[in-house]
């Protein structure tokens, strides 16, 4: 009997020691990790817009975040709240009911840049809402604006992958053609599912219009060699393909479905479904939001 106590104590001590170390490390690294994640997010957005290491973003390019909140009123009714930046660095919260009709417009007393921190933003939004309402952050959409014209939308999405969630970002042109797909988080198996992050797979989505996206599916066929070459900019350069040739091959294969990765059909399907869902939901939401903005005659920043 005494033995079992000793064993219990010993194992408990090991667990407590391990958790203390983990807690200490977490507390020390949490802040820096979040900063790094934000920086990576910004980099991903810039990359999706086509501005990376070789091409610097122009000065008149502005990226505005639009925060979507789910609001529950004291009566238990659900509505949606969009935090929109207005011209002149003002911010409003537009509350829409589930059918898309604007309920009210609440001015927010903060600048859009000060709302970047989520804890701070949640407090401000909750404070601005009528007493008893609850709000939960749902999504942040980014709108890139250049010289007063919408350049593109960057929409984050999430989907169930092979093991855990795949987080992705899709950039769309104003007429809802996919201009880029990035995987921001995934735990797919290296060498198999993790290949979804590679250029030759992600770039298959680029150029697909909304009509094509709506009926997009995955085929278990090998990727045609010329198409594979044109999707990977590094390899295309090595082979000496000109920009026109790359464009020609891409146009030829524009109506193709997504070619599944060998040995990773589930991951390929997951990312495809993720992109399709993200785009479709976003297009619907933006339609409703733009309609509401027109009705309320808001002069939004983008």
Partner 1 sequence: MNRNVQLLWNGLIPENPIFRLALSMCPAVAVTTSVQNGLMLGLAVIFVQVFSSCTVAIFKSFIHPRIRIPAYVIVIALWVTVIDMILPVISPEVYKQVELFVKLIVVFAIIISRLELFASKEPLIPSFFDGLGMGIGFLFGLCLIGAIREFFGTGQLFGFDILGFNPLLIMVLPAGGFFVIGFIMAIFNWIEYKLTGKIPTSGGAH
Residue whose CB is less far from partner 1, 88 or 190: 190
Distance CA 239, CA 202 (A): 20
Of 131, 142, 138, 129, the residue nearest 171 (C-alpha): 142
Residue whose CB is less far from partner 1, 12 or 120: 12
Residue 14 in contact with partner 1, rule: CB under 8 A: yes
State in angstroms the smallest separation of the CB of 38 from partner 1: 11
Q: What tokens were used for 75?
A: 């009566």
Residue 136 in contact with partner 1, rule: CB under 8 A: no
Residue 7 in contact with partner 1, rule: CB under 8 A: yes
Residue 36 in contact with partner 1, rule: CB under 8 A: yes
From 97, 122, 189, 256, residue interacting with partner 1 (rule: CB under 8 A): 189
Residue 220 in contact with partner 1, rule: CB under 8 A: no
The DSSP secondary-structure symbol of 57 reads P
Residue whose CB is less far from partner 1, 120 or 238: 238
Residue 254 in contact with partner 1, rule: CB under 8 A: no
Q: Which alpha helices (DSSP H) does 49-181 contain, by range?
A: 118-128
From 102, 108, 188, 292, residue interacting with partner 1 (rule: CB under 8 A): 188
Burial class (CB in 10 A: 0-12, 13-18, 19+), 235: middle
From 38, 77, 117, 187, residue interacting with partner 1 (rule: CB under 8 A): 187
Distance CA 242, CA 131 (A): 61
Contacting partner 1 within 39-58 (CB under 8 A): 39-40
Residue 21 in contact with partner 1, rule: CB under 8 A: yes
State in angstroms the smallest separation of the CB of 52 from partner 1: 14
Residue carrying the six token digits 């909750």: 126
Residue 6 in contact with partner 1, rule: CB under 8 A: yes
State in angstroms the smallest separation of the CB of 164 from partner 1: 10
Q: What tokens were used for 220?
A: 């278990």
Q: What tokens were used for 97?
A: 């009911």
Supply φ then ψ for residue 174, to 5 degrees. -55, -25
Q: Which alpha helices (DSSP H) does the chain contain, by range?
A: 2-48, 118-128, 199-202, 210-214, 225-231, 233-238, 243-252, 265-296
Distance CA 153, CA 64 (A): 10
Q: Contact residues for partner 1 (CB under 8 A)?
A: 3, 6-7, 10-11, 13-15, 18, 21-22, 25-26, 29, 32-33, 36-37, 39-40, 186-192, 194, 235, 238, 262-263
């Amino acid at each position: 009997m005494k033995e079992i106590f000793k064993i219990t104590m010993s194992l408990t001590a090991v667990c407590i020691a391990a958790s203390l170390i983990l807690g200490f490390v977490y507390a020390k690294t949490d802040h820096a990790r979040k900063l790094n994640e934000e920086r990576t997010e910004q980099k991903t957005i810039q990359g999706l817009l086509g501005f990376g290491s070789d091409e610097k973003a122009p000065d008149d390019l502005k990226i505005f975040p639009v925060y979507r909140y789910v609001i529950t009123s004291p009566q238990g009714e659900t509505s949606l709240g969009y935090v929109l930046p207005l011209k002149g660095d003002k911010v409003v919260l537009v509350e829409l009911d589930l059918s898309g009709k604007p309920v009210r417009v609440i001015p927010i007393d903060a600048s859009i840049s000060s709302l970047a921190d989520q804890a701070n933003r949640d407090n401000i939004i909750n404070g601005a809402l009528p007493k008893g309402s609850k709000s939960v952050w749902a999504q942040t959409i980014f709108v890139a604006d250049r010289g007063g014209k919408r350049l593109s939308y960057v929409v984050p999405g999430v989907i169930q992958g092979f093991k855990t969630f795949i987080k992705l970002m899709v950039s769309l042109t104003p007429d809802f053609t996919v201009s880029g797909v990035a995987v921001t988080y995934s735990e797919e198996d290296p060498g198999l599912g993790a290949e979804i992050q590679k250029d030759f797979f992600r770039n298959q989505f680029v150029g697909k219009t909304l009509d094509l996206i709506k009926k997009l599916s995955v085929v278990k066929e090998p990727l045609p060699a010329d198409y594979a070459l044109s999707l990977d900019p590094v390899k295309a350069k090595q082979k000496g393909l000109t920009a026109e040739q790359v464009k020609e091959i891409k146009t030829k294969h524009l109506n193709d479905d997504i070619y599944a990765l060998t040995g990773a059909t589930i991951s390929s399907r997951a990312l495809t479904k993720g992109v399709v869902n993200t785009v479709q939901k976003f297009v619907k939401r933006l339609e409703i939001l733009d309609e509401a903005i027109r009705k309320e005659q808001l002069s939004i920043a983008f």
